[in-house]
Amino acid sequence: MTQFDQSVDRRTVLRRGALGGLSLAALAAAGVTLRPEGSAAQDITCPPIEPRVVEGTPEPMSGMRIGVSVAYLSVPFYANFKTGLEDGATRFGFEYDLRDGGGGDLAVEVGNVQDFIAQGYDLILLTPSGEGIIPGIIEANNAGIPVIEVNNQAGFPSDEADVVTYVGADDVEYGRQQARLLNQLFGDEPARIGYVQGITGTSPQINRSQGFDEVLAEFPQYEILATVTNDFDSAKALAVTQDLLTRFPKGELDVIVMQGPEGVAAAQFAQQNGREEVQFILGDYDAAVRQAIIDGYVAGTVNQDPYPQAFEGMHMAWLYLNGQESEIPMPFFQDLPIITAENAEAVPPSWGC
């Protein structure tokens, strides 16, 4: 099956303000910090981004309605996700209702699903916080409303609930890609690693760790000295980095690997405090990560683009509702390319510009 070519003017997306109007308390509740207190400001240069045109003739408006619930909608990652939803709905002739999942508040997430059921929506696109949402998915199943998971998994695959498919990153492969990047950097040389995980118990934390460990098992010269968590939070990323640099003085630590993009200020701190020998590998590819790679204090990352995940979620909904379920990949994993200084200049960030 051919994947549609999609694109978006990402400058417009940012100006819409994924964080607009949110208080600092709300940002903290969503696990988001703009920049850790006391860290140096980062000068970010955004490349010219040519808007691409969504291929194909838009489907006529069908009258079908899609309910969309995203657990952490206020997180900046979802700015281009929202644009992908809009472009996908336009391309495939849907109306849709986008709801915030309350920063992963399970009661809010289940309430969203129940509202979609009560209002008779034709299909639900769900970005869940975790497996606690499965009873809500079962309610949708019992009401005859199909569910597709996008960007995060809970009920696919599951013996408990029926989910049509999952569209998004293969988080196990994501972890493998980070380990492959580590191997690109160190080759046959030994590497002592500080491994920084995201939110404990979530599918990204569990599955990225699994993939990372799988590849590391092939290279006995690589050793994880410490595993810590930062909840995908910039301030916590800086704090755990400071702790790692203290615990392992110069000559005892070679690289810090973080599962998300929140380590830019931490990498900058290391460089500015005489620890430039410690390399940093991050995850995801926003404008700040891209600039840090270009500036030389982040070695590389794995690019997870939110836009095609949302667009293809709408595409899969259209296939299902038009009797073409046999054409739906189950799951539908998106590409996860490695970004380093060799290609960062040529590859626009996935969000943040």
DSSP symbols for 73-96: TTSTTHHHHHHHHHHHHHHHT-EE
Specify the amino acid at residue 257: V
Report the alpha-carbon distance of residue 214 to residue 196 in Å, rounded. Answer: 16
Q: Do domains 10-40+50-169+306-322 and 171-302 have the same CATH topology?
A: yes
pLDDT on residue 44:
80
One CATH from 3.40.50.2300, 2.60.40.10, 3.30.565.10, 3.20.20.140 for 10-40+50-169+306-322 = 3.40.50.2300
The amino acid sitting at 351 is W
Which of 198, 290, 265 lies closest to 34, judged by CA?
265
Tokens of residue 28, six digits? 């903290």
- Residue 79 phi/psi, 5-degree rounding, is -60, -50
At 275-294, the pLDDT tens digits run 999 999 999 999 999 999 99
Instruction: Using pLDDT thresholds of 50, 70 and 90, give the confidence band for residue 125.
Output: very high
Q: How far is CA 218 from the centre of its chain?
A: 26
Which of residues 316 and 12 earns the better pLDDT score?
316
> Is the pLDDT confidence value at 197 over 60?
yes
Counting residues of the chain whose pLDDT is more than 70, the rounded percentage is 86
Do the beta carbons of residue 98 and residue 89 sit within 8 Å? no
pTM value is 0.81
Choice among 41-55, 85-99, 296-310 with the minimum mean pLDDT: 41-55
The answer to whether residue 24 scores a pLDDT higher than 80 is no
In this prediction, residue 30 carries a pLDDT of: 35
Task: Name the residue among 281, 289, 287, 285 with its Cα closest to residue 334.
Answer: 285
Of 100 and 39, the one with more pLDDT: 100
Determine the pLDDT at residue 223: 98
Query: How many Cβ atoms sit within 10 Å of the Cβ of residue 334?
Result: 19
pLDDT, residue 51, reads: 60
Strands of the chain (E only): list them.
65-70, 95-100, 123-127, 147-150, 166-168, 191-197, 222-229, 255-258, 279-281, 300-302, 332-333, 338-340
Angle of helix 171-186 relative to helix 203-216, nearest 10 degrees, comes to 40
Read off the DSSP letter of residue 286: B
Query: Which of 291, 196, 279, 288 has its CA nearest to residue 236?
Result: 196
Query: What fold characterizes domain 171-302?
Result: Rossmann fold (3.40.50)
pLDDT at 71 over 80: yes
pLDDT of residue 185: 98
C-alpha 62 chain-centroid distance: 30
Q: Which of 329, 319, 309 is nearest to 83 (CA)?
A: 309
Q: Of the ranges 22-36, 134-148, 189-203, which one carries the lowest mean pLDDT score?
A: 22-36
Share above pLDDT 90 across residues of the chain, in percent, rounded to a whole number: 78
Domain residue spans of the chain: 10-40+50-169+306-322, 171-302
- Start-to-end Cα distance in the chain: 31
pLDDT of residue 8: 34
